[in-house]
Amino acid sequence: MKMTLSEIVQAIGLDVSETQQRQYQNTVVTSICIDSRQARPGSLFVPLVDQRDGHDFVAQAQMAGAVATFWQTGHPGRPTNLQVIEVAEVLPALQKLAHYYLLKVNPKVVAITGSNGKTTTKDMIAAILAKQHNTAKTQANFNNEIGVPLTILGMETNTEVLVVEMGMDRPGQLQFLSDLVEPDVAVITMIGEAHIEFFGTRDKIADAKMEITHGLKEDGLLIINGDEPLLTTRAATFAPRTFGFKEENYLYPTAMTLTKNHSEFSVNRWPEVSFTVPMIGEFNVLNALAALLVGRHYHVSPDEMAQALAHFQPTENRTQWLTGDAGEEILSDVYNSNPTAVREVVESFIKVAAKGRHVAVLGDMLELGEQAEKLHANLASELDPRHIEEVYLYGDLIKSLDLRLRGVYPPEALHYYPLGQQAALIADLKNDLHYGDMVLLKGSNGMKLKKVVQALL
């Protein structure tokens, strides 16, 4: 990006004096940051107020090269040696600036949401569209009211398609984000139990996911998982393109071959083309189907889409195979978790042949509310000693699963660690795992199972 402070002031709707306008006109901003450690020459620093007050870090941002900062009206300690844009509230100013910049660059916008699979689907879509278009996408987990504006402001001025991931944890959130980006294409991957603590039922989750259509352009395209009745009934008025395993969908797989390192499939629309994704599981085939529909909409050829899927780079810790220090094979899927996601990955994991044992390490699934104990305990139906020989459980909520599995697993094959005993979990795993074993790690991001993965490496 490249904007003068004068343009930024106009973009967020501020009235300033002619003197300020002249000062602002001579200052050029080339990047936006909310973390002073990421500031560089030409940055505009945005001091958000959350658990820590970003205003306290303006000086550090300036030392790193920031040329200006937003500043909340009335906040003490306003700098006198740095260009300051005073705003009533910092976050809304950031969001207004993002919307302005989006309209200025004017890319096509593809927005993705869903209880599972949205990050992987986003990565697949971006890889496909990059075959023919200058494409930008959401980085890391920048998918909320802060992350989406930063995604927008981080794209280059020559961007032709912007692929935006959108998360939610409350009603109205997706509506706001959809209105912010005004998508040309909206994708809903599936409806699960993620964030059910805040919604109560899957029906209400489906209602909230449909909010992504609120800002959908009048001639926009909605793409949904057609195997999910909660979506098909709600989306009927949009005449959506559907994907799924059922043959009544617009796009469905006609054959699949699933291995440890990749999933190969063919589809009804292009029977002569074989598609491969470097990821495990039928659920990633579904993600790929959604991506193929977006690619088709933007006229990417089937052969080019196949090339893109075969070589795309998934975001870290999404069904990622690694090799542990003892030679064990690790399937790391520790970014997030909910009952649907656990069932899907366990089902795929046990289908991969191991020289040694199949070992599951499961952490708490967060944001399940009053149903948490029941939903954890119900995972017992997915864990069979004939297929997963050993189980490690970590967290307080997952205690209910431990109780359910007693009597199913012998005591020496079932291990439980309350929250705070991660060091003991790591030590026991290191002593237990051997060459040829396969170990699945799955849990909500807040359980920090990534540290367990790193320790095993």
Range of the domain at 37: 3-88
Of 279, 311, 343, which residue constitutes the final position of a domain? 311
Q: What is the CATH number of the domain that holds 57?
A: 3.40.1390.10
Of 273, 291, 311, which residue constitutes the final position of a domain? 311
Is residue 306 domain-shared with residue 329, that is, in the same domain? Answer: no
Is residue 144 domain-shared with residue 293, that is, in the same domain? Answer: yes
pLDDT of residue 335: 83
Is residue 292 domain-shared with residue 352, that is, in the same domain? Answer: no
Tens-digit pLDDT profile for residues 294-311: 999 999 999 999 999 999
Is residue 358 domain-shared with residue 290, that is, in the same domain? Answer: no
Give a yes or no: residue 248 inside a domain.
Answer: yes
**Beta strands at 438-442 and 358-363: parallel, antiparallel or unpaired:** parallel
pLDDT of residue 320: 86
Average pLDDT over residues 61-67: 97
Cα distance between residue 187 and residue 221, in whole Å: 9
Asked if 108 and 160 count as a contact pair (C-beta separation under 8 A), the reply is yes
The answer on pLDDT for 152 being more than 90 is: yes
Of 292, 311, 330, which residue constitutes the final position of a domain? 311
Sorted by sequence, the CB contacts under 8 Å of residue 237 that are 6+ apart come out as none
Give a yes or no: residue 268 inside a domain.
Answer: yes
Q: What is the CATH number of the domain that holds 328?
A: 3.90.190.20
Asked if 390 and 357 count as a contact pair (C-beta separation under 8 A), the reply is yes
Give a yes or no: residue 191 inside a domain.
Answer: yes
The mean pLDDT value of the chain amounts to 94
Cα distance between residue 281 and residue 291, in whole Å: 16
Q: What is the CATH number of the domain that holds 244?
A: 3.40.1190.10
Annotated binding site for ATP: 114-120
Is residue 124 domain-shared with residue 33, that is, in the same domain? Answer: no
Average pLDDT over residues 333-360: 92
pTM for the model stands at: 0.88
- The identity of residue 128, as a single letter, is I
Is residue 226 domain-shared with residue 352, that is, in the same domain? Answer: no
pLDDT of residue 418: 97
The answer on pLDDT for 194 being more than 90 is: no
The answer on pLDDT for 198 being more than 80 is: no
Annotated binding site: 114-120
Give a yes or no: residue 97 inside a domain.
Answer: no
Total domains, the chain: 3
> Residue 187: how many CA atoms within 13 Å on its side-chain side?
30
Tens-digit pLDDT profile for residues 74-90: 999 999 999 999 999 99
Give a yes or no: residue 60 inside a domain.
Answer: yes
Give a yes or no: residue 100 inside a domain.
Answer: no
Is residue 127 domain-shared with residue 231, that is, in the same domain? Answer: yes
pLDDT of residue 130: 98
Nearest-5° angle of CA 163, CA 164, CA 168?
155
Cα distance between residue 172 and residue 144, in whole Å: 12
3-state DSSP of the chain: CCEEHHHHHHHCCCCCCHHHHHHHHCCEECEEECCHHHCCCCEEECCCECCCEHHHHHHHHHHCCCCEEEEECCCCCCCCCCEEEEECCHHHHHHHHHHHHHHHHCCEEEEEECCCCHHHHHHHHHHHHCCCCCEEECCCCCCCCCHHHHHHHCCCCCCCEEEEECCCCCCCHHHHHHHHHCCCEEEECCCCCCCHHHHCCHHHHHHHHHHHHCCCCCCCEEEEECCCHHHHHHHHHHCCEEECCCCCCCECEEEEEECCCCEEEEECCCCCCCEEECCCCHHHHHHHHHHHHHHHHCCCCHHHHHHHHHHCCCCCCCCEEEECCCCCEEEEECCCCCHHHHHHHHHHHCCCCCCCCEEEEEECCCCCHHHHHHHHHHHHHHCCCCCCCEEEEECCCCHHHHHHHECCECHHHEEEECCCCHHHHHHHHHHHCCCCCEEEEECCHHHCCHHHHHHHC
Structure tokens at 300: 């990417």
Is residue 110 domain-shared with residue 239, that is, in the same domain? Answer: yes
The answer on pLDDT for 199 being more than 80 is: no
Is residue 297 domain-shared with residue 373, that is, in the same domain? Answer: no
CA Rg, the chain, in Å?
A: 24
Nearest-5° angle of CA 351, CA 355, CA 357?
70
The answer on pLDDT for 414 being more than 80 is: yes
Give a yes or no: residue 101 inside a domain.
Answer: no
Tens-digit pLDDT profile for residues 14-32: 988 887 888 899 899 999 9
Give a yes or no: residue 94 inside a domain.
Answer: no
Average pLDDT over residues 359-365: 97
Cα distance between residue 251 and residue 189, in whole Å: 14
Is residue 14 domain-shared with residue 132, that is, in the same domain? Answer: no
Is residue 282 domain-shared with residue 325, that is, in the same domain? Answer: no
Structure tokens at 378: 């119900």
Is residue 78 domain-shared with residue 110, that is, in the same domain? Answer: no
